[in-house]
Every structure is written in C-alpha cells, then in structure tokens.
Amino acid sequence: MNQERWMSLLGLINRAGQLISGEELVLKEIRKGKAKLVILSSDASHNTSKKITDKCLFYKIPMKSVTDRYMLGQAIGKDARVVVAVLDNGFAKKLVELLD
C-alpha cells in the first residue's frame, strides 16, 4: 500500500468537498446512500467499528481500514479522525485501488 499516494488523494478529495468525517456525519451519509467508500481507522473503538461496519454491510458500501486515526486525520489536514466517507464514485474507486 502506497501510504503517501492514498493520503494525498484523500487530501485532494477533502479539498474538493467530497469527504465527510466524523462518526455521526458518516452514518448519516451512509443512510442517505451518498457514501461511496468508508475508511475506518484500525484503532477505532469497538463500538464505533461495529456501528460503522454493520451500516456499511447493510447498505452495501465498500469499507477500507487504515493504520490509525492520526494518519487519517493528517491526510485531510485535521486532528485525529476515526472515520471518513468519500462521496464521489470516481474518487472512491481510485482510493480503493490505492488501499488494496
């Protein structure tokens, strides 16, 4: 996995306004069917992990995992972020490739 590439792409997606971060907002976008990809940090709490994973499975939204919340936050120029959702199909596809 090319860490720098997915992190800079995530930053670009954020600047393009196609990224939502934070558990409640991400859950809302999943329910609305707008989230195309959800990225969860491996160090998310069990509760958060379960909630996000269950929702993604139910709504059939692809999900990827990254090392930790600091890396996820750093990628979008914020403090620690546990979960983000990508709202654009093209960006989501490209990100899945980089995170595989």
What is the per-residue burial (b if ≥16 Cβ within 10 Å, else e) of 75-93? bbeeeebbbbbbbbeebbe
**pLDDT per position as a tens digit, 2-60:** 789 999 999 999 999 999 999 999 999 999 999 999 999 999 999 999 999 999 999 99
Number of domains in the chain: 1
**pLDDT per position as a tens digit, 50-99:** 999 999 999 999 999 999 999 999 999 999 999 999 999 999 999 999 99
Containing structural domain, residue 57: 3-99
Check which CATH number belongs to the domain holding 24 and give it.
3.30.1330.30
Q: How far apart are CA 89 and CA 16, in angstroms?
A: 13
DSSP-derived secondary structure for 63-89: EEEES-HHHHHHHTTSS--SEEEE--H
Instruction: Specify the pTM.
Output: 0.95
